[in-house]
Amino acid sequence: MSRQMVRPGGRSARVQASVHTAVRELASEVGRDALTVPMIAQRAGVTPSTVYRRWGDLQELLSDVAVERLRPETAPGDHGALAADLTAWAEQFLDEMSSPAGRAYIRDALLGDPDGGNAGQCSAYAAEQIDVILTRASQRGEKVPDVETVIDHVVAPLMYRILFRPDGLGAAYAHRLVTAALDPTGR
C-alpha cells in the first residue's frame, strides 16, 4: 500500500526529497537492480527504518519515485488549434513514455502499487494536461471532445502499444489517434 505524505512541508518533505534524489542518483550510478534500502538511506542521510516506515519496501519507494518522475513539468504547448495542441502533446507523451526510462517508470509505478493509487495519479496527470488543451481550445471557440474521450481514444491505445506492442510506434500513429478522436465519423 502506498503511503501518502501527512503534511506537505517540513521534515517529511525534506526526507521525501532527499530519498527521491538518492534513488535517482544511485540508479544512474549502480543501476536500478542493484538498489537496496540501506544504500538509499545512507545516501539520503536517513536511517533504513525511516525508509521502511514511510514506504514499506523498496518496490513501493521505487513506485513513489516513478510517479513523481512521471508528473509533467510544464503545461502543454499552445500551437493555436486543438488538433495541433493535442497532436504535439500526444507525440511528446509517446516519446517520453516509450523511452527506456519512461517504460521503467511505468513498470515501477505499477509494481509498487497494489491498491491502484499510483496508476490513478498517473492517469490524473494525463487528464490534467488534456483538460488544459481542451479548455484552451474551447476558449478559442473550437468544438472539443471531453477528457474521457481523449483518454479512451488517444492515451489508452498509446499506453497499450507502449506496454504490449511497441513495434511501429511513432508520431504518425499518435497523429492518427488524435485525428480519429477529434473526428470519430472520419470526415
Q: What is the CATH number of the domain that holds 124?
A: 1.10.357.10
* pLDDT tens digits, one per residue of 134-157: 999 999 999 999 999 999 999 999
- Indicate if 51 and 80 belong to the same structural domain: no
- Indicate if 116 and 159 belong to the same structural domain: yes
Q: Is the pLDDT of residue 77 over 70?
A: yes
- Indicate if 83 and 41 belong to the same structural domain: no
Residue 170 domain-assigned (yes or no): yes
Q: Is the pLDDT of residue 7 over 50?
A: no
**Tally of domains in the chain:** 2
Q: Is the pLDDT of residue 5 over 70?
A: no
What CATH code is carried by the domain that includes residue 50? 1.10.10.60
Which cell is 22 given? Answer: 538518492
Rounded to whole angstroms, the Cα distance separating 63 from 53 reads 15
Q: Which residues contact 9 (CB under 8 A, 6 or more apart)?
A: none
Residue 63 domain-assigned (yes or no): no
Domain that holds residue 19: 10-56
CB 169 within 8 A of CB 103: no
Using pLDDT thresholds of 50, 70 and 90, give the confidence band for residue 1: very low
- Indicate if 111 and 140 belong to the same structural domain: yes
The pLDDT of residue 112: 77
Higher-pLDDT residue of 126, 2: 126
* pLDDT tens digits, one per residue of 110-143: 887 778 788 888 899 999 999 999 999 999 999 9
The pLDDT of residue 141: 96
- Indicate if 93 and 166 belong to the same structural domain: yes
Rounded to whole angstroms, the Cα distance separating 175 from 88 reads 9
Residue 49 domain-assigned (yes or no): yes
